[in-house]
Chains A and B, each alone.
Chain A
């Protein structure tokens, strides 16, 4: 799935490590999601959406 996580993170001025801390996951997880290589589970997608104040469908879209 495509996502605009990298842009959203950049807008907040967070590093991958900072975002990882906020999500309580590893930095590798954030990187894998940003590159679109790993699709997060629904609970993690909800956590991401809440963190950025967006709806899930605004953050992720099908390839």
Chain B
């Protein structure tokens, strides 16, 4: 989930924070799956448990925001922001197209929690092309 090409202080901080949020995500996901699988809670407890793995993912978005404020290299910041904008656009386009295919053509349901990993796949794909524009 890294599109940072350099190895400065901001990038190191980003990687560390991201590793922490991803570790938290795995723990939260395992906890939710375990408790839901064994005890089948309902109501507010189920809602709370369902939200548990989502919180670190939301945190990861914040980690990206912190990185962008800490990155002093304006060129790197430009490349990353452009990559993310392309990735965001492609993700929204993909989800919109998929949504209509689901609605009218009966294709398989897309789990919306996969939107975040899809965004990162898109970012990884477009990032080299964005960098290529500046070579």
What is the CA–CA distance of A12 and B56 in the complex, to the nearest angstrom?
49
Closest to B78 in A: A38
Closest to B131 in A: A28
Is the interface on chain B under 10, 10 to 19, 20 to 34, or 35 or more residues? 10 to 19
| A8 interface residue (CB < 8 Å to B) | no
What is the distance, in angstroms, from B35's C-beta to the closest C-beta of chain A?
45
Known contacts A26-B5, A26-B6, A26-B8; A32 and B134 CB within 8 A of each other: yes
Which chain B residues border A32 with CB–CB below 8 Å?
A: 75, 134-135
Inter-chain contact A28/B75, CB cutoff 8 Å:
yes
**Interface membership of chain B positions 100-111, coded 1 if the CB is closer than 8 angstroms to chain A and 0 otherwise:** 000000000000
| A16 interface residue (CB < 8 Å to B) | no
What is the CA–CA distance of A28 and B78 in the complex, to the nearest angstrom?
12
Which chain A residues border B134 with CB–CB below 8 Å?
A: 28, 31-32, 35, 37-38
Chain A interface residue count, CB cutoff 8 Å, equals 14
Which chain B residues border A28 with CB–CB below 8 Å?
A: 5-6, 75-76, 131, 134
Which residues of B line the A interface, CB within 8 A? 5-6, 8, 72-76, 78, 131, 133-135
Q: Nearest 9 A-B pairs (CB), nearest first?
A: A29-B75, A32-B134, A37-B134, A26-B6, A25-B73, A26-B73, A38-B134, A41-B74, A38-B75
A selection of 25 A-B contacts at a CB cut-off of 8 Å is A24-B72, A24-B73, A25-B72, A25-B74, A25-B76, A26-B5, A26-B6, A26-B76, A28-B5, A28-B6, A28-B134, A29-B73, A29-B75, A31-B134, A32-B75, A32-B135, A33-B75, A35-B134, A35-B135, A38-B75, A38-B78, A38-B134, A40-B74, A41-B74, A44-B74
